[in-house]
Chain A
Amino acid sequence: DQQVKQNSPSLSVQEGRISILNCDYTNSMFDYFLWYKKYPAEGPTFLISISSIKDKNEDGRFTVFLNKSAKHLSLHIVPSQPGDSAVYFCAASEYNFNKFYFGSGTKLNVKP
């Protein structure tokens, strides 16, 4: 039962352009969402989070948008850099559960 879905396994973007990674969820009880970045042979690294009381959160080049009615969130990276090339996972949890459901990931390739 896949409660968090990332339907694009891969994305290729030119350096300097915008990268948009998408994530959909089915559980309406989810109210906290995170994005993680993962390089090969390393553990996932936290990027940015958003709670359900917001619809946008920004941190430098990274912005996460949440559309609760559509059960959809997206991560925007502007401008994209070659060092951003990695696998990106979205994750979601219910209030104060700290039990996260992860999507299957999107592999981002930023071309110089």
Chain B
Amino acid sequence: DAGVTQSPTHLIKTRGQQVTLRCSPKSGHDTVSWYQQALGQGPQFIFQYYEEEERQRGNFPDRFSGHQFPNYSSELNVNALLLGDSALYLCASSLRTGVNEKLFFGSGTQLSVL
């Protein structure tokens, strides 16, 4: 039973570039959430996708966008990269059946913006 998988594991970009990160949820899960974890901080909620639509969004600018595919996998896109976007990006999956679903996390993509 595969857990949450993310690619790539590491990425180096320069300011102004665009980046796409990918996530495959745990088998049987239909909801994908993205979190940004800056150095020394806890994960911060970016947005959540369910039924191929963005359902909830955190306090992130429109430069951050996403997509969910029919097979529940998801992409996170960041445009016009800033130095401050350097962080670990975590994907988490869950099953949206009822209340209090816990999140299963991938190992993350470490993004460095130079």
Contact = CB atoms under 8 A, between A and B. Distances in A.
Contacts of A91: 42
- What's the dominant secondary structure at chain B's contact region? loop
Contact of B58 (A4, A99, A103): A99
Nearest to B3: A43
B42 A105 contact: yes
Interface string B78-114: 0000000000001010101011111111111000000
Interface stretch (B11-19, B43-51, B63-71): B43-51
Interface in A60-100: 89, 91, 95-100
B41 A104 contact: yes
Interface residues of B, number: 28
A16 interface: no
Contact of B31 (A45, A46, A98, A105): A98
21 contacts: A4-B42, A6-B42, A32-B99, A41-B107, A42-B107, A43-B108, A44-B43, A44-B90, A46-B103, A49-B100, A49-B102, A51-B100, A96-B100, A98-B33, A98-B48, A98-B94, A99-B33, A99-B48, A99-B56, A99-B58, A105-B42
Interface of B: 4, 31, 33, 35, 40-45, 48, 56, 58, 90, 92, 94, 96, 98-108
